[in-house]
Amino acid sequence: MTFPSRLSLVLAASAALFIAGCSIQQTGSSTTGQPLTEMEQVSQLLSQAETAAPIRSAELKAEAARILMRLDRKEEAALLLEEIDLQRLAPALQFEIAQLKARAALEKEDGRQALKYLQQLPESTTSTLLPEQQYSIGEMQAEAYRFQQDRLSELLQLIQLSSYSPEDKAQTLHNRIWEILGELPSAQLQQLSRQPANTYYEQGWYELALSTRGATDLSSQSKQMEQWQLLWESHPAQRIAPEALQAIAQATTIEANRIGLLLPLSGRLQKPAEAIMNGFMTAHYNAAREGRATPEIIVLDTEQFENPQQLYQVAEEKQLELLIGPLRKEMVELALDSGPAPIPTLTLNTVLGKYQNNIYQFGLSVEDEAIQAAEQMWQDGHKQVLMYISAAEWGQRAEAAFTNHFESLGGTVLDSYSFARDANYSEQIATLLATEASTERRKQLTRIIGERPEAEERRRQDVDAIFLSAPPQAARQIKPTLAFHYAGRIPVYATSHIYTGNESAIEDQDLNGIRFVATPWLIKEPSNAHLQLAQQQANTNSRFGRLYALGIDAFQLYPYLAQMAASPEAQINGETGTLSVNSSNQIQRQLNWATFKQGVATAQ
């Protein structure tokens, strides 16, 4: 037999017992009367399997494999199980061995091998299995698909399991299904829902996901969920909804009759504050015109207050039920350091790494853009990247956020370079791309051989993509400089700083091919509120114009903060992005992607 030689590692631990001629009793104890160690038990079982009949031999090897897996000796367990031929066993033992084989493969995160083992079970066997055994096989198949990163097959397997899952496993199962559905692009979800061969369970899950995704706000989302419940009374998700949906249904909206809008109406932030207030009040007036109940707005100048305690004292005196603001970062940080807020507070700036009960942080954070760029570059298959970043404070924050997130995904930042306003882009990019080293080598060869070598200058070859965070004027010089240094075909991803917001095809020709994140306010068709403000202000289609969008979204957001905090999947499609609330009560923005084509920013 090949078994002893293939399992030399298994037998090595107890070989001394056999070489010395010690006999191991079959009662589970050694000749000394002491209980056997687990490895001694493995040796005993394998010794018995050598002379046992085929079915008994398989049972003994299976028991030995269980012990090895418990001892975290997965490779040896897998080798042992390979020796067992399922075809010669009774159905019950076929299931047991196939299950052990699959679990051993899954322990090694080998999804392909696990599926192979499970597929070896004859159909005559699977049809006779108990429901709990069939469920166990389905769970392992879903896990195997996960290790293969085949999310659609995993989803279909989980949905099939949901049709007969035990009560104690249904919640976890439905949460997993909902998580995968949330990852699917809307177009793919629509396509899946139109397939005529869908089962009742598949169609119900697809339509539930589409009903929540199609809603523009949480209010309409709740209504669409109610309509789904009427149509799918017997669906498993009706009986036990995913926890994310339960959270939306259970959390109440924030109803405030008097709101304090906290803004610096003087000083260096006066202009940004006025833009935010204009956006906020435009949304407020539009809601009133549509017949919606609207709160009374009390505007407070935060330049008149030294600390958050004074703000909350005035809020109590004026019987305010919710605060929107402050804007100044220092005041936001003080509020976060002062303990839980006495009333719900939606700040208009963010402080990373800080959290406080009843305080929600909202702002135009560059970190959101850098993280989204890192995710997109990774999804596009770019594993090794360079960064060329503005030396300004916002650029350094973008660099830190991108690096942390990209490396957490498994990517590598090969090198990074920060540039100032008066930078020599050519020299810096030559260093970044290592073309100056190629030039220097060529000069050395010329000195050595006395004539100009034919070898061409070249850049480093390990770069998949470049992350750029630069204002438009700098970017218009940087992109051609990249091409000059043989990097014209390397994909470039950028933050929103690259785009002025105004179409300028001639000036932006040099930006062609760059993909960048952009707020819906600047890249999508203007909303009614946007058009209204554009009639009054000349700077709405600019980076400054995003502040109007921030004010509009602050008004749209506040009623749903508790619901959004209860479910990370709850979203609102806003002017500044698709908005959600993370576990730190920070509003996260998912922006749109755009690409410069013939000098024009084109939404994707």
The CA–CA distances, whole Å, from 463 to 404, 427, 434, 517, 576 equal 18, 18, 11, 21, 32
Helix (H, G, I), strand (E, B) or coil at 573: strand
* pLDDT tens-digit map of 552-585: 999 999 998 988 887 766 778 899 998 989 989 9
E strands, 238-330, where? 258-263, 296-301, 322-324
Number of helices (H) and strands (E), helices first, in the chain?
29, 15
> How high is the pLDDT of residue 350?
95
For the chain, what percentages of helix, strand and coil (3-state, to nearest 5) are there?
Answer: 55, 10, 35
> How high is the pLDDT of residue 90?
63
Which stretches within 20-130 are classed as H helix? Answer: 38-51, 54-70, 74-82, 91-107, 111-119, 123-126
The CATH architecture assigned to 366-518 reads 3-Layer(aba) Sandwich (3.40)
425: Cβ contacts below 8 Å, ≥ 6 apart:
419, 474, 477, 478, 481
* pLDDT tens-digit map of 31-55: 555 677 888 888 888 888 787 877 7
> How high is the pLDDT of residue 6?
41
Query: What is the DSSP annotation of 401-464?
Result: HHHHHHHHHT-EEEEEEEE-TT--HHHHHHHHHTHHHHHHHHHHHHHHHSS--SPPP---S---
Question: How much is the mean pLDDT over the chain?
Answer: 85
- CATH class of the region 258-364+529-568: alpha beta
534: Cβ contacts below 8 Å, ≥ 6 apart:
526, 540, 541
What is the biggest distance separating any 2 CA atoms in the chain, rounded to whole angstroms? 98
> How high is the pLDDT of residue 187?
83
The helix (H) or strand (E) run that includes residue 470 is: none
> How high is the pLDDT of residue 255?
82
> How high is the pLDDT of residue 89?
61
* pLDDT band, residue 91 (cuts 50/70/90): low
* pLDDT tens-digit map of 428-454: 999 999 885 444 444 443 454 445 545
Whether the predicted pLDDT of 351 surpasses 60:
yes
> How high is the pLDDT of residue 46?
82
Whether the predicted pLDDT of 278 surpasses 80:
yes
Please check whether residue 321 is in contact with residue 300, taking contact to mean a CB–CB distance below 8 angstroms. no
Least confident of 50-54, 500-504, 529-533: 50-54
Domain 165-250 bears CATH identifier 3.30.43.10? no
Greater model confidence, 203 or 149: 203
* pLDDT tens-digit map of 380-429: 999 999 999 999 999 999 999 999 999 999 999 999 999 998 889 999 99
Whether the predicted pLDDT of 28 surpasses 70:
no
Least confident of 63-72, 85-94, 282-291, 507-516: 85-94
pTM across the whole model? 0.66
What is the location of CATH 3.40.50.2300 in the chain? 258-364+529-568, 366-518
> How high is the pLDDT of residue 451?
53
Residue 468's DSSP bridge partners are 388, 494
What is the location of CATH 1.25.40.650 in the chain? 165-250
Q: Which two tokens stand for residue 201?
A: 């369970």
Q: How far is 10 from 46, CA to CA, in rounded Å?
A: 10
